[in-house]
């Protein structure tokens, strides 16, 4: 046997040491990285949850207003409202982005999406909403 790999559970470490005391052992790198990133991942998760709690009700309200106004809007205004609804959908998508330990953090993944939406809205505003 060349070597063993485990996720560093105490029972596994003891069994490997007892069964193959002279065989090199390595802890699985994924498990080490996951364990090392746990606290940062949990903080990221809390930040994302706070963002979602703060922003989702506002986005829902805007979408509700868009839907209500779209029902009686002239074609040009209905088109603009549809674009605004697409922006709202993008925001909801960013807020619902999940992380995956050890390397994918939800707020890090959502940031470029939200930045792109912000930039696009700023450009739209400069053009006068057209």
Please write the tens of the pLDDT for every residue from 59-110.
Answer: 999 999 999 999 999 999 999 999 999 999 999 999 999 999 898 999 999 9
Quick one: pLDDT at residue 7?
85
Phi-psi domain of 8 (left: phi exceeds 0; alpha: psi -120 through 50; beta: other): left
Give the pLDDT mean for 3-30. 90
- Average pLDDT value for residue range 47-61: 96
Q: What is the C-alpha separation between 28 and 69, in angstroms, rounded?
A: 56
């Amino acid at each position: 046997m060349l070597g063993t790999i485990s996720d560093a559970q105490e029972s596994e470490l003891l069994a490997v040491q007892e069964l193959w005391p002279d065989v090199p052992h390595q802890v699985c790198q994924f498990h080490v990285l996951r364990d090392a990133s746990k606290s940062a991942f949990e903080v990221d998760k809390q930040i994302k949850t706070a963002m979602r709690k703060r922003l989702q009700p506002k986005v829902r309200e805007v979408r509700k207003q868009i839907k209500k106004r779209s029902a009686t809007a002239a074609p040009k205004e209905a088109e603009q409202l549809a674009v605004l609804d697409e922006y709202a959908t993008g925001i909801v998508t960013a807020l619902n982005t999940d992380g995956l330990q050890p390397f994918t953090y939800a707020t890090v993944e959502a940031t470029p999406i939200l930045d792109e939406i912000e930039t696009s809205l700023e450009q739209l505003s400069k053009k006068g909403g057209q």
